[in-house]
Amino acid sequence: MIVSCEFLLEELVKYLETYLIEKNAHWLRLNFARIYQTSFQNKQLQELQKWCNDIAAKYPSKVFESEDFITLQENALVSLIGRDDLQLEEVKIWNYIIQWGIAQSPGLSSDPKNWSGENFLALKITLQNCLPLIRYFQLSGDDIIDKVKPYKKVLEKNLWEDLMQRFLTPNRPVSSIILPPRIISSPILPPRTTEPFSTVISETHAAEIASWVDKKTEVYSIVNNPYEFKLLIRGTRDGFTSKSFWKLCDKQTNTIVVMKIKGTDEIFGGYNPIAWDKSKNGKYTNCNNSFIFSLKNVTIQNSILSRVKEPNSALYTSSQCGPNFGNYGDLAMYTDFNQHDECYCYPQSYEKTLRNTKDKFNFSVDEYEVYQI
C-alpha cells in the first residue's frame, strides 16, 4: 500500500485500505502502534487514519501510553486531540501534550523551573497546532494552578488571564474562544436480569479471550473489551453435527469456539483468525496466531492459554468433523460431539495441554458455540 502511494496509484491505495480494514482488522489491531504511525505518514491514507483514530479516541491508552508516543507525528496528534469524542480527561491530555512537546526538544529539562525565555518560546512554537485544541475551560481550578501555571508562558497572555478570571469569578464573560466539552461516554452495563449472551461463557470470559487475541499482558475488563462476539452457531445435546458446523462456519474468519465439557466444570475453546475452509478436506492449514484455552470457573482456579508452537499443523480440516486445532487433536470435535468421548485435547501442536496429564485426553461435549469477533 505504501509503494502504491509512492507511485500515485490512487485506486489501488483505496482498494488496499478497504481490504485491510474489512478483511484484516485483526492484523491491524495486533500492529496498531505501527499502523497508526504509518497511516499518518501519507495524506492519501484517509480511511486508514479515520479507522485508527476511531479506535484511539475510544481507547486512548493505545496511543498515549505506547512506547512510541513521543515519536508520534504532529498531524496524528493534532487529529486525535481535536476530536470531541476523545475519551480522556482534559488534564491528562494537557500533560501528554507537554510531554510530547518536551520530547521534540532534545536536551530540554523536564522541569520548567530551569527553563529560559527562549525555552518557553521554543515549546510554544512546537505546540502551536496542539495548544488551541485543549479544552482549557474544562480544567478544574486546581488543574490550572498545579498543571498549567508552570507552563503559562507557552499560552497566549489573554488566554491565561481569562483562565484565572474564570477561576476567580466563574460568571464573568471572557474573550477567549471556549471549545465545547468533550463527549465522554458512560458505558451502561446490561441489567443482571437480562439473558446472558452465551450459555457457555460469561462476559468476563469473553474479555479474557479478547485480551489473548490482542496479546495483552493485562486482561480486558467487561467495559473495555473492544470486540463484539457475533454468534454463528450454538449446539446443545443431540443437536451437534459436523454438517451444521461447516454450513454456518465455512469461510468464516476470526472465530472463537467454546464448549462445555460433559460431566465436568471444564470450558475448552480455541481461536482461529483465518478462515475455516471445507475445501481443504484432509489437509492441515498453517496459522501463526491461533490458540486454544481452558477457562477458569467455580472449580477451575486458573485459565490456561496455549498458543500454537507448530504453525504448519495449527488447524486440520475434515468434512466429517467439527473444528480441529492441531495435529492429532490438541482440541478437536470429532463426529459424535456429545457421545462416546469423541472429542480430544491431546498435546501436540500447541504449547500446553488443556488437561493435566493424569486425566484422560478424550471427552464429550454438552454444549458448544462458535462466535465471530
Residue 310 backbone phi and psi in degrees, to 5 = -125, 80
C-alpha 151/C-alpha 119 separation (Å) is 11
Q: What is the pLDDT of residue 341?
A: 65
For residue 312, the 8-state DSSP code is G
Q: What is the pLDDT of residue 28?
A: 86
- Per-domain residue ranges for the chain? 2-168, 203-372
Low-confidence ranges of the chain (pLDDT < 70): 186-195, 237-240, 335-341, 357-359
84-95 b/e (C-beta count within 10 Å ≥ 16 → b)? eebbbbbbebbe
C-alpha cell at 342: 469423541
C-alpha 49/C-alpha 54 separation (Å) is 9
C-alpha 228/C-alpha 174 separation (Å) is 45
Query: 260 with 267: CB under 8 angstroms?
Result: yes
Query: 206 with 114: CB under 8 angstroms?
Result: no
From residue 233, alpha-carbon distances to 64, 104, 280, 362, 368 in Å are: 38, 52, 21, 23, 8
**pLDDT tens for residues 278-288?**
999 999 999 99
Q: What is the pLDDT of residue 356?
A: 73
Closest C-alpha to 203, from 187, 183, 217 = 187
The SS3 of residue 142 is helix
Q: What is the pLDDT of residue 208?
A: 95
Bridge partners of 343, per DSSP, are 333, 363
Q: What is the pLDDT of residue 359?
A: 63
Q: What is the pLDDT of residue 193?
A: 46
